[in-house]
Amino acid sequence: MEYASGGCLQDLLNNRGYLDMDSVLYYAAEMVCGLQFLHSEGIIHRDFKPENILFSNKGHIKIADFGLAAENVFGNKTISGSIGTLHNMAPEMIQCQIYNSAVDWWAFGIVLCKMATGRSPFYEGRKAEKCIHFILNCQPSYSEQLSTELQDLLEKLLKKKPYKRLGFKGDIRRHPFFKSINWIKVEIQNVEPPFQPEPQPNPDVSIPASALEVLNIDTASTHSYSLQDFTYLSPSWQA
């Protein structure tokens, strides 16, 4: 993938807190197109989060970091493995159940809520056990000031049961939140992005050894863990 010089979505959220609704709608539509393309190619991203959503120099999004992606997952095929960033992981992944592309639509719901409100709809703290508890047992929480269409979309994306989750079930493009979207123009990037990102300096591509370390979490443990958007790999997957 070519260098995306516009930074990432997390940088934008750090600077602005949250996005205006026109920007939320625009980026959400591009994300839908991106995820649907990946899934049509049998790819489940499994770590869809603001840090992995980059901007081109023209302001279009690019889904990045496929280091945890699963390939050749077509049709009714399912896979297993609790892997990804804990705050964005779907319930079935946390519970080490088999799953499919519905996990990416759950993560999209988390990202969508963060764009619109600046917050996750679940626990945002640093304790793994509390994060897991909220995802598995609590309903998503977000501002009632959001439009009824957006609230309904979030509710349908954040279904605990993956087979009920919009994106995997039903045509997400037909949801009322996207009623103003011309999907053909979005797919060919013929819609003007909400803003022109400032070019970022060329990155230092050297990778320090510390960046390659993987943090292990035992979800059955009663200990408290600190976490800051870490990448999670189930102990059962360790060599």
User: Within 13 Å of residue 39, how many CA atoms lie on the same side as its CB?
Assistant: 20
**Helix 102-117 and helix 21-40, axial crossing angle in degrees, nearest 10:** 170
How far from the centroid of its chain's Cα atoms is residue 209's Cα? Answer: 26
End-to-end CA distance of the chain: give it in Å, rounded.
Answer: 29
11 is known as an active-site residue: no
Rounded-to-10 torsion of CA 209, 10, 176, 143: 120
DSSP E strand boundaries for the chain: 53-55, 61-63, 83-85, 215-216, 231-233
Cα 126 from Cα 228, distance rounded (Å): 6
Structure tokens at 104: 């990416």
What is the number of other CB atoms lying within 10 angstroms of the CB of residue 58? 12
Catalytic residue among 20, 47, 152, 218: 47
Cα 155 from Cα 166, distance rounded (Å): 9
Tokens 């626990």 belong to residue: 123
Question: What amino acid positions are annotated as catalytic residues?
Answer: 47
